[in-house]
A and B are shown apart, each in its own frame.
Chain A
Amino acid sequence: MSAAAAIGKVVGPGDKVLEIPAQGTLRLSAGLTTQEGAVVSTKGGVLKATRTGQLYLEGRQKRYIPVEGDVVVGTIVDKHVENFTVDIGGPFNAVLPQLSFEGATRRNRPNLHQGDLVYARVVQAHRDTDPVLSCVDAAGRAAGFGHLKGGMVLTVSSSLARQLLGSPTAPVLEALGSGLQFEMAAGLNGRVWLSASTAATCVLVANAIAESEFKTPQQVRTMVARVLSRIG
């Protein structure tokens, strides 16, 4: 079975996903490993491929395992001389250097304290070291990263977070956006930051997002329409 034919297959732990082809390259990512000439899954999930052709297994987890390149919402736990310690909901706390902010220099450090929320990307996620974050993109610009002021944080599973960040836009966000105004920063670590003009709107959006996980797009649209009609 070729890699293309196996996409969309639902597998469990220890299942053989496909045979390693005699020619060509196969790039494997999260959830897949090789055993005796075959690609084997290590957890339950759906086999998918990224745009660049990497095969990975998408499952539904609550605990986040950092992967390089992911965007995450973290809470600052500690402030040291050179960096912050950030809780990203993974096995270990991450390190965010104080200079990884736009316009930060040794004299002009970011004014963040314990308990503040940051939107960052994972720069380094090796299994033997603590993950390293950055609040600037590769070019050095803020690009939406940095301190998240106010708002609330909603905890969701990894698959719902991926859906909120994916394209096409998640049906729940489209439906909510047509009737309400709110700001959202979703992290692949299952934390979603929401901010709106009133607390009621914030809570409404949070509940709608949480409820939309196991619903089909049509059910989501019906649910949001019902909620929006009730608030007038």
Chain B
Amino acid sequence: MEYVSPEGLRVDGRRPRELRRINCQLDVLSSADGSAIFEMGNTKVLAAVFGPHAVTKRSDLKEDAAVVVCEYSMAAFSTGERRRRGKGDRRSTELSMVIRNTLEQAILTELMPRSQIDVYVQVLQADGGTRCAAINAAVLALSAAGVPLRDLVASVAAGHLDGTPLLDLNFAEDSGGGPDLAVALAPRLGQLVLVQMDSRLPVDTFQAVLDLARDGCRTISGVMREALLEHTKRLAVARGMVTTSS
């Protein structure tokens, strides 16, 4: 199957360095302290944040920092074929741990000792890049909840097919057998938070794919920041604190 046409178009008509359309919605759940829906093309992920609150399991209590608990799950209707997945299935457990480790680096946990922050991420529609969309949704939900963050961490998956580095793989490209490099970046600090890859990639091509992913992360972080500022401004404008022209 051809993933990049001779004219340079991918299976969905994008250019190799093009991201899918992004859509962010904040405060979508009234019961959660913070919530967000993040859409990257057809991939749609819902994140809900509860906390900080007292730890539920005393054995998890940390005297000097907050405990971050993360649960990733995929809705049964999220893929093309309805498949009921158990909570404990290996992929979900692994992704929960990956997302938790990424968020723990982004949150200023030292400001909230002896407390716990719960992050629940559910994939509503899966079309490739679910772990990246999950991280982005979780970061937006944490911002909406007012949890102190070091930076607006953003994440994207990049790959390499038909000799071209590709940004933001969808499901068809992901299943193409090429490498899938998931990267999370803290743009203002310029630090990589997550680098995860499957399959194989020669070292010289790896740098090109990594740089492409970093650029993608920076762009996505900018889009997330715009959505967050819009959300914050809405309240400030209603209160007359900020004029619409600024």
- Chain A residues with a Cβ under 8 A of chain B: 8, 10-16, 31, 33, 42-46, 48, 59-63, 65, 91-93, 127-128, 158-159, 163, 213-217
Contact = CB atoms under 8 A, between A and B. Distances in A.
Given A10-B229, A127-B113, A163-B239, A61 B188 contact: no
A63 B149 CA distance: 16
B240 A59 contact: no
Given A14-B151, A92-B54, A214-B238, A63 B146 contact: yes
Contact of B149 (A8, A13, A45, A216): A13
A91 B112 contact: yes
A107 B234 CA distance: 53
Contacts of B242: 8, 10, 46
Contact of A13 (B143, B235, B246): B143
B142 to A, nearest CB: 8
B146 A60 contact: yes
Contact of A44 (B186, B229, B241): B229
B147 interface: yes
Given A60-B146, A91-B54, A14 B115 contact: no
B27 to A, nearest CB: 8
B143 A44 contact: yes
Given A44-B143, A44-B229, 8 more contacts: A12-B232, A13-B149, A14-B189, A43-B143, A62-B145, A63-B51, A65-B146, A127-B111
B33 interface: yes
Contact of A91 (B115, B229, B241): B115
A61 B146 contact: yes
B57 to A, nearest CB: 16
Say whether chain B's binding surface is mostly helix, strand, loop, or mixed.
mixed
Contacts of B145: 61-63
B53 interface: yes
Given A12-B229, A43-B143, A63-B52, A31 B148 contact: yes
Contacts of B233: 10
B154 to A, nearest CB: 11
A10 B232 contact: yes
Contact of B143 (A12, A127, A217): A12
Contacts of A213: 235, 238
B83 interface: no
Contacts of A11: 229
A90 to B, nearest CB: 8
Contacts of B189: 14
Contacts of B241: 8, 46, 48
B228 interface: yes
By Cβ-Cβ distance, the 9 closest A-B pairs, closest first, are: A61-B146, A14-B151, A42-B148, A13-B149, A91-B115, A91-B52, A63-B33, A44-B232, A14-B188
B51 A91 contact: yes
Contacts of A15: 188, 225
Given A43-B146, A91-B52, A217-B240, A12 B152 contact: yes
Nearest to A46: B236
B114 interface: yes
Contact of B152 (A14, A61, A62, A159): A14
Contacts of B225: 12, 15
A59 B238 contact: no
B231 interface: yes
B232 A45 contact: yes
A217 B228 CA distance: 24
